[in-house]
């Protein structure tokens, strides 16, 4: 499943979506306010609100990310096969609320860029198997409410639905391609992959 903030300058999102002739169902702002009920087990693509200066900025601000259920063991293989088109065993990162880091990680670190590794607590490895590597490690992204409120609210809604404040996070791109940087890129990549839904601008697009 994918999500984008709503305020990209200069874009009339209604006209853009209508011009692409893609169906949309609900206003995207509802996603983090209705408990994410219909979407808790879907693959969601987030992005992109604007062009980032680097992948590090993408990682920090979630400008173009694909988000899935970290609780489903088969999800990592599904994303590798149907979205990333790469080997099934390649790992993914967990995005989690910063305040929950100590509950899930042996070291409660501040890690907004997914460049640090940590051991997942043994009792939590079976809870988030899709983002726990075979050696029990993970490359987490801690999400702060004040810095990334939309993404934090999405994770919070997922927690209310599932009891787990962790989602699987990967870059929004196909194998061999750069991370998407434009709305047109987002729609093309979405329909070229096995993603279930795309939040772009203020709209939720489903296949």
**Tens of pLDDT along 116-126?**
999 999 999 99
Q: Are 142 and 110 in contact (CB under 8 A)?
A: yes
pLDDT of residue 27: 59
- List, in sequence order, every residue forming a beta bridge with 137; answer none if it has no partner: 119
pLDDT tens-digit profile of 146-183?
A: 988 878 888 988 898 889 999 998 888 888 888 887 78
Phi/psi at 166 (5° precision): -135, 135
- List, in sequence order, every residue forming a beta bridge with 143; answer none if it has no partner: 97
Output the six-digit token pair for 100.
């929950």
Residue 196 has pLDDT above 90, yes or no: no
Residue 106 has pLDDT above 70, yes or no: yes
- What is the value of pTM for the model shown? 0.81
- Sign of the alpha-carbon torsion through 43, 201, 60, 156: negative
pLDDT of residue 15: 78
Domains assigned to the chain: 13-206 (3.90.870.20)
């Amino acid at each position: 499943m994918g999500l984008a903030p709503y305020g990209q300058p200069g874009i009339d999102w209604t006209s853009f979506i209508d011009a692409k002739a893609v169906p949309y169902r609900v206003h995207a702002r509802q996603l983090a306010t209705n408990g994410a009920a219909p979407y808790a087990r879907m693959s969601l693509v987030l992005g992109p609100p604007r062009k980032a200066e680097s992948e590090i900025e993408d990682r920090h601000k979630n400008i173009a990310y694909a988000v899935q259920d970290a609780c489903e063991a088969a999800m990592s293989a599904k994303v590798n096969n149907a979205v990333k088109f790469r080997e099934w065993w390649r790992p993914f990162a967990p995005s989690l609320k910063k305040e929950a880091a100590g509950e899930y990680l042996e070291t409660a670190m501040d890690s907004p860029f997914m460049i640090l590794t940590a051991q997942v607590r043994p009792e939590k490895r079976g809870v988030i198997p899709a983002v726990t590597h075979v050696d029990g490690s993970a490359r987490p992204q801690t999400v702060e409410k004040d810095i990334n409120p939309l993404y934090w609210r999405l994770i919070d809604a997922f927690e209310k639905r599932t009891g787990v404040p962790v989602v699987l996070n990967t870059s929004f791109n196909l194998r061999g391609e750069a991370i998407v940087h434009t709305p047109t890129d987002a729609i093309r990549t979405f329909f070229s992959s096995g993603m279930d839904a795309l939040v772009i601008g203020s709209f939720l697009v489903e296949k």
